Amino acid sequence: MFDTMTFTKIVGGVCGALLIFLLGKWAAETLYHTGGGHGDEHAQGYVIETGGDEPAEEAVEVAFADVLATADAGKGAKVFGKCKACHKLEDGANSTGPYLFGVVDRPVGTAAGFTSYSGALEAVAEVWTAETLNEFLASPKGYAPGTTMTFSGLKKIEDRANLIAYLATNGG
């Protein structure tokens, strides 16, 4: 079946392929090498002034209650589009996640018929107030470590406020 010549050809083919791979890697590194090896002296053609000596203006932190007071439920309906994959607004219509009808001011973990709660939410909150929803929607995994919700969160406070205003108009 395998004689010495066949075995020699197989070993030679594997070694040849390895050699070609290593030579290709060396050629690519040589061709696309982008830095290093030039010492610490770098020639700079021009300097861009950035005003780094001046203190940066601090971002003004806006209170969530103020943002929520001016929230637009119509814009929140658009933001809810990110939630539709896992949640429904109809009362009792669970999906991958629990239904969100009447979620504002509802006790945590009490959506009728939904049994896949992780228990992480009950550990951090008792009721879904606008404030707890805001904190949770900013970073679900950060607010309730161990939650099964895979959504990364809404970074803009306006989006969170608009979404909460929209949810409040739907049974809340």
Average pLDDT of the segment spanning 102-127: 85
Q: How confident is the model at residue 143 (pLDDT cuts 50, 70, 90)?
A: confident
Q: What pLDDT is attached to residue 14? A: 96
Residue 31 neighbours by CB distance under 10 Å: 7
Q: Which residues of 1-21 are buried (b: 16+ CB within 10 A; e: fewer)?
A: eeeeeeeeeeeeeeeeeeeee
Q: pLDDT by residue (tens digit) across 75-103?
A: 888 988 888 888 888 888 888 888 888 88
What percentage of the chain exceeds 90 in pLDDT?
12
Higher-confidence residue of 88 and 43: namely 88
Q: d(Cα 90, Cα 130) in Å, to the nearest integer?
A: 20
User: 75 CB contacts (<8 Å, ≥6 apart)?
Assistant: 158, 159, 162, 166
Is the predicted pLDDT of residue 40 greater than 70, yes or no? no
pLDDT of residue 73: 86
Q: pLDDT tens digits for 9-34? A: 999 999 999 999 999 999 988 888 76
State which H helix or E strand residue 38 sits in.
Answer: none
For residue 108, what pLDDT band results from cuts at 50, 70 and 90? Answer: confident
Task: Report residue 141 CA to chain centroid gap.
Answer: 10
Average pLDDT, rounded, for the chain:
82
